[in-house]
Amino acid sequence: MERPDFRKKIAIVGVGTVKRFGELFDYELSDMIIEAYLEALSDARNLEPKDIDAAWFGWAIPANVGGGGSGAVLSEILNIIPKPVTRVENFCATGADALRNACFAVMSGWYDVVLAVGAEKMRDVDARDALLHALVRHGHPLWGKGFLVPSIFSVHATVYFNKFGATKEDLANVAVKNHRNGARNPRAHFQRAVDKGRVLSAPIVSWPLGLYDCCPVTDGAAAAIITRADLAKKFTDTPVYLSGMGIATDFVAGIFTHPKRDFTSFPATTNAANEAYRMARIDASQVDFAEVHDCFTITELLDIEDLGFCGKGDAPRFVKEGEANIGGKIAINPSGGLKSFGHPIGATGIRQVFEAVHQLRGDVEPKYGKSGRQVPDAEIGLCHNLGGTGSIASVLILER
């Protein structure tokens, strides 16, 4: 059956983030959220808190701050009581899926203006106690043996190396590119370029993944204000449209041991992308830039292939030859990616949307980036998350 045309129906009219992602020991969860929200509000024109009809809150680990995981927490922080707020949690796709549900509600016609917020406190809390210890205590088959996330992704890297002849240098090229982009981004956690020698000689976390192959653990928050396209011009001269959304699932408990598992791809990414491309009525070749889930450098290589930007096994060349650079064929992680920004789980998906909106507006420099960070003439951008070591993926497609 023919699906409705979502193109240029949903507009993003305001975006904001905390002023800089990082180890925000002087921010509580509420401080981060308020800072991101106020920027999003002021980014839109003529928008008052009373105009917001409803909100969606992407927040993955409430236990980190000892709170209960309700949307009411956001409502109280932002003083938007009694507005309806839904809390969404979906592994590393938490922020993106919160925004997706906000967009469905706008498309339903019931709400005019809605808010999507993503936030996470990752540093100054007992995250390991709340999350990992609970999983270990309940007998998690891998984590209980100390087999944590870097170890899981390292197996993807070794299988990929074996199958396609890639090397640790191919991973390093991803780190060098994303650190270079992040060094120009005043909001990134890490704002320092690294050279390949430094990446290759860094301590190993789980071979072949060294320190610079892993994204940091970071606090952050981001917000986006969404409305129907026909109302957008009231709030901005430069609306950016959310034209495609896709979420896909894969095995959770069995993901690592499932006999069908191909360690050189994440099927959830491809399935989510297919839904988003179908909704936006585009294919991968039309994407000008993409914020992808580089939790580890190997993940970015697989993302580039799974999203259809190049063929299987071709991502190392794609990155090495500069096709993933700003100004290349498809700029990958022009913001600096998770590698530079870190990955506050609930925030990341909406932080990527913040980047995509500014890239599509063409106003990245100088406020959000030093010279060379603007993707030239970008018309279509894509944001991608991969969560639960492959058990969930999200793809959002934005166009100007």
Q: Which is nearer to a second copy, 131 or 155 (CB)?
A: 131
SS3 category, 170? helix
Strand pairing of 204-206 and 209-210?
Answer: antiparallel
306 near 266, Cβ under 8 Å?
yes
Q: Which is nearer to a second copy, 240 or 280 (CB)?
A: 280
Reply yes or no on whether 103 is catalytic: no
Smallest distance from the beta carbon of 231 to a second copy, in angstroms? 9
What is d(CA 247, CA 225) in angstroms, rounded to the nearest whole number? 21
Catalytic residue among 92, 214, 215, 295: 92
Q: Which residues pair with 206 in a beta bridge?
A: 209
Q: Which is nearer to a second copy, 267 or 372 (CB)?
A: 267
Q: Which is nearer to a second copy, 244 or 334 (CB)?
A: 244
Smallest distance from the beta carbon of 364 to a second copy, in angstroms? 31
Q: Which residues contact 362 (CB under 8 A, 6 or more apart)?
A: 374, 377, 378
116 near 58, Cβ under 8 Å?
yes
SS3 category, 10? strand
264 near 159, Cβ under 8 Å?
yes
Smallest distance from the beta carbon of 235 to a second copy, in angstroms? 15
Smallest distance from the beta carbon of 225 to a second copy, in angstroms? 17
CA atoms within 13 A on the CB side of 379: 5
Q: Which is nearer to a second copy, 44 or 96 (CB)?
A: 96
Alpha helix ranges (H) inside 241-387: 267-280, 297-306, 315-320, 337-341, 345-361
Smallest distance from the beta carbon of 79 to a second copy, in angstroms? 10
**Which sign does the torsion angle of CA 255, 338, 73, 227 carry?**
negative
SS3 category, 204? strand
36 near 21, Cβ under 8 Å?
no
Reply yes or no on whether 343 is catalytic: yes
Catalytic residue among 179, 293, 343, 358: 343
Point out which residues bind a second copy (CB under 8 A).
1, 3-4, 6, 54, 60, 63, 65-73, 75-76, 80-91, 93, 97, 100-101, 103-105, 107-110, 112, 130-131, 134-135, 137-140, 246-254, 267-268, 271-272, 275, 279, 387-388, 391-392
Positions marked catalytic: 92, 343
